[in-house]
Amino acid sequence: MPNPIFDLAVTNIKGQQVELKDYQGKVLLIVNTASKCGFTPQYKGLEELYQKYKEQGLEILGFPCNQFGQQEQGNEGEISEFCQLNYGVSFPMFAKVDVNGPEASPLFKNLKQQKPGVLGSESIKWNFTKFLIGRDGKAILRAAPLTKPEALEAEIQQALAAK
C-alpha cells in the first residue's frame, strides 16, 4: 500500500513548490482538469463545493493535464486566467502534469495505486477524474469524469465528519 500522499511535493500554478504535508488534516478532492473539455463546466461545481466546505476543512486541488485530446494546451498563466475568469476558481490550481505514462506525476501514480479504476486498471481515462482523500492522506474513492462534483457531496460530508 502506498504511503499517504503527504510525503510528496507538487508545483503550484505559479511555479512554487508546495509540500502536500501542508494539507495534512484536511479532506482533499484532487482532480485532473482541462480548459477545453466537455467536462470543463465541472469547475463550477468544484468551486461551489469548495465555497461550501472549505471552512470545514475541504481543499480542492486542480491539476491541469493535456494528455486527453490535447484539451489543455495553454501555459500555467493562461490556465489560471481561464479558470478565474470563466468559473471564479479560487481553490488551489497546480502546474500542468501528466497523470499516465512514464512522466506521470508521483502524486497521480500514488493515487492510482491506492484507488485503481474499473477492473483494477490504474490508468486515468479522461479529464476530471476525481480522488477523494481522507484527513489521513489515504484515498477514499475514485470518481469517473462523468461523475459531477456535487454527486460526491455525501462522501465529502462523511470524510469531513471523520476526525
pLDDT digits (tens, 9 = 90+) for 93-112: 999 999 999 999 999 999 99
**Distance from C-alpha of 104 to C-alpha of 96, rounded to nearest angstrom:** 11
Q: Say yes or no to pLDDT of 15 above 70.
A: yes
Q: In this structure, are residues 114 and 4 in contact, taking their beta carbons and an 8 Å threshold? A: no
Q: Which residue type occupies 61?
A: L
Cell readout for 159 is 470524510
Q: How far is Cα of residue 105 from the mean position of the Cα atoms in its chain? A: 12
Predicted structure pTM score: 0.94
* Dihedral in degrees, nearest 10, Cα atoms 118, 149, 96, 109: -30
Q: How confident is the model at residue 122 (pLDDT cuts 50, 70, 90)?
A: confident
Whether 37 is catalytic:
yes
Q: How confident is the model at residue 33 (pLDDT cuts 50, 70, 90)?
A: very high
pLDDT of residue 3: 59
**Nearest in space to 147 (alpha carbons), one of 118, 121, 113:** 118
pLDDT digits (tens, 9 = 90+) for 133-147: 999 999 999 999 999
Q: Say yes or no to pLDDT of 1 above 80.
A: no
* Of residues 1 and 13, more confidently modeled: 13
Q: How far is Cα of residue 92 from the mean position of the Cα atoms in its chain? A: 10
Q: In this structure, are residues 32 and 129 in contact, taking their beta carbons and an 8 Å threshold? A: yes
**Distance from C-alpha of 61 to C-alpha of 73, rounded to nearest angstrom:** 19
Query: What percentage of the chain exceeds 70 in pLDDT?
Result: 98
Helix (H, G, I), strand (E, B) or coil at 19: strand
pLDDT, the chain, mean? 92
Q: Could you tell me the domains of the chain?
A: 5-161 (3.40.30.10)
Which of 5, 27, 37, 58 is labelled catalytic? 37
Cell readout for 139 is 484515498
- Give the CA radius of gyration of the chain: 14
pLDDT digits (tens, 9 = 90+) for 45-80: 999 999 999 999 999 999 999 999 999 888 989 998
Residue 74 burial (10 A CB sphere; 0-12, 13-18, 19+) = middle
Helices and strands in the chain, H and E counts: 4, 6
pLDDT of residue 83: 86
